[in-house]
Amino acid sequence: MRFIGLILLLSLKLFAVDATLEIVKNGNKIPYIMVEKLDSENADFGTKVLKMLVADLKVSGHFQADDGGVNKSNDINYADYAEKKVDLLAQIKVAKSSTLTATLSLYDINTSKHIFTKTYTENDIKRFPFLAHNMTIDINSYIKAPSIQWMQRLVVLSRYVGSGSSEILICDYTLTYQKVVVKGGLNIFPKWADSKQESIYYTKYLEVPTIVKHNLATGQIEQLVGSEGVAIVSDVSKNGENLILSLSPTALSDLYIFNTKSKNLRRLTNYSGIDVDGKFVNDEKEIIFVSDRLGYPNIFMMRLDGGGTEQVVLHGRNNSAITSNGKYAVYTSRETNNEFGGNTFNLYLISLAPGSNYIRRLTANGKNQMPKYSSDGGSIMYLKHYKNQSALGIIRVDYNANYFFPLSKMKIQAFDW
């Protein structure tokens, strides 16, 4: 029961887009791009890639994008597009055989030039979203906008499938592509083990909850650490050598640091209550974490070389999850105290700079939980529950934009990006 109770605590961790985008490039507002589909050998996948490409361009925050539909002509009438105020034209063609191949041709309407034609291939046709993601990255590179390489990255998540049973999947950031990589039994709290996303850590319930490492390419599984109550990888250092673990070998959970090379396990906190969800910050010299040492979940910080703990968040009385890009942190805060009904949980952004009191609310309603920073630290993924609907949310922090991908019949237990 203690194990289940801790899982519930840690798991507390639609939909109009109100984007206010003012990205200036060469004195102009963000470019207007039209995406068209040429006659294709596979109209179905061609339409799917086109719609995904338009969505990706919008999510980047660097384009105004429209679906131009089907174009049966190979000739580009630059004057016609210029009259429609189009800056860029992207034309795609998709062919399906044993693989899925997409060709992108990009045109700069303002200079009446063909910029490039490039072919993209996916051996697994279910991975068609990545054709669009990679096209978007290349179009984004042409206008020299800030990098959106995070679109290529996989999301790893665990979902409940029944009593005592959960699966681990890898997905694209929209959850359109999904592939089960672990099934059978209770498999929870997945975490990427390396920046190349070749291996994952997760907790498997064996005789006790046990942290295992799973190589996705070879299928090799290595057992690392077991704990009677809870055993979770909370964070992984940038070089992949050190892990922050939440363990409860004898009592409620504390934080430990585990070296993957030496297998040395060192205790970081020693508190009679619950310390969980530790994250590296400030060049990995410190960690922030969730603790109930005030009688309710709140966010604290401590140095890895020793010293006392410091309360970080002074807002709210139930802050049950934390994520950080090293210099900033995003946490959940319960805004209401409804004993018998739903409560509102919002996300807040704070600076971790010494002496800073910067705070910014990122969400406005519903239950917003499990925030996770992107690898480049510029976007935040989270779960939103609002009026009996659920969605995976993406916050583009620098652009004041939120985007949502509805969840259908999927109960996500935890995820990592």
Same domain assignment for residues 317 and 404 = yes
Put residue 6 in one of left, alpha, beta given phi > 0 → left and psi -120 to 50 → alpha. Answer: alpha
Query: Is residue 283 situated within a structural domain?
Result: yes
- Phi and psi at 191, nearest 5°, equal -150, 135
The Cα–Cα gap between 161 and 175 comes to: 17
Predicted local distance difference test score (pLDDT) of residue 117: 97
Same domain assignment for residues 116 and 183 = no
Predicted local distance difference test score (pLDDT) of residue 226: 93
Same domain assignment for residues 142 and 157 = no
Same domain assignment for residues 157 and 46 = no
Query: Is residue 18 situated within a structural domain?
Result: no
Predicted local distance difference test score (pLDDT) of residue 309: 87
The Cα–Cα gap between 326 and 79 comes to: 48
CA distances from 279 to 69, 327, 359, 369, 372 (A): 45, 11, 19, 16, 11
Same domain assignment for residues 118 and 70 = yes
Q: What's the total number of domains in the chain?
A: 2
Which residues touch 79 (CB under 8 Å, ≥6 apart)?
none
Query: Is residue 253 situated within a structural domain?
Result: no
The boundaries of the domain holding residue 372 are 153-207+272-416
Predicted local distance difference test score (pLDDT) of residue 42: 65
Query: Is residue 263 situated within a structural domain?
Result: no
Which DSSP state fits 293?
T
Query: Is residue 325 situated within a structural domain?
Result: yes
Predicted local distance difference test score (pLDDT) of residue 41: 59
The Cα–Cα gap between 325 and 235 comes to: 12
Chain-centre distance for alpha carbon 114? 34
CATH number at residue 76: 3.40.50.10070
The Cα–Cα gap between 205 and 308 comes to: 33
Give the CB-side neighbour count of residue 26, counting CA atoms within 13 A. 4
Same domain assignment for residues 133 and 181 = no
Other C-beta atoms lying within 10 Å of the C-beta of residue 396: 20
Query: Is residue 343 situated within a structural domain?
Result: yes
Same domain assignment for residues 164 and 301 = yes
- Phi and psi at 135, nearest 5°, equal -60, -45
Same domain assignment for residues 189 and 79 = no
Predicted local distance difference test score (pLDDT) of residue 17: 31
> What does the pLDDT look like over 33-47, one tens digit per residue?
999 998 765 678 889
Same domain assignment for residues 74 and 193 = no
Same domain assignment for residues 288 and 387 = yes
CATH number at residue 191: 2.120.10.30
How big is the chain by its Cα radius of gyration, in Å?
23
Put residue 110 in one of left, alpha, beta given phi > 0 → left and psi -120 to 50 → alpha. Answer: alpha
Query: Is residue 229 situated within a structural domain?
Result: no
Q: Which of 129, 148, 167 is the last residue of a domain?
A: 148
343 closest CA partner among 353, 333, 335 = 335
Query: Is residue 354 situated within a structural domain?
Result: yes
Predicted local distance difference test score (pLDDT) of residue 16: 31
Same domain assignment for residues 62 and 93 = yes
What residue type is assigned to position 71 of the chain?
Answer: N
Whether pTM > 0.85 for this model: the answer is: yes
Q: What is the pLDDT along the chain (417 residues), one digit of tens a residue?
A: 444 344 333 333 333 332 223 333 334 589 999 999 987 656 788 899 999 999 999 999 999 999 998 887 778 999 999 999 999 999 999 998 889 999 999 999 999 999 999 999 999 999 999 999 999 999 999 999 999 999 999 999 999 998 889 999 999 999 999 999 999 999 999 999 999 999 999 999 888 999 999 999 999 999 999 998 899 999 999 999 999 999 998 778 999 999 999 999 999 998 888 999 999 999 999 999 999 988 889 999 999 987 788 999 887 778 889 999 988 999 999 887 766 667 889 999 999 988 888 999 999 889 999 999 999 999 999 999 988 889 999 999 988 889 999 988 889 999 999
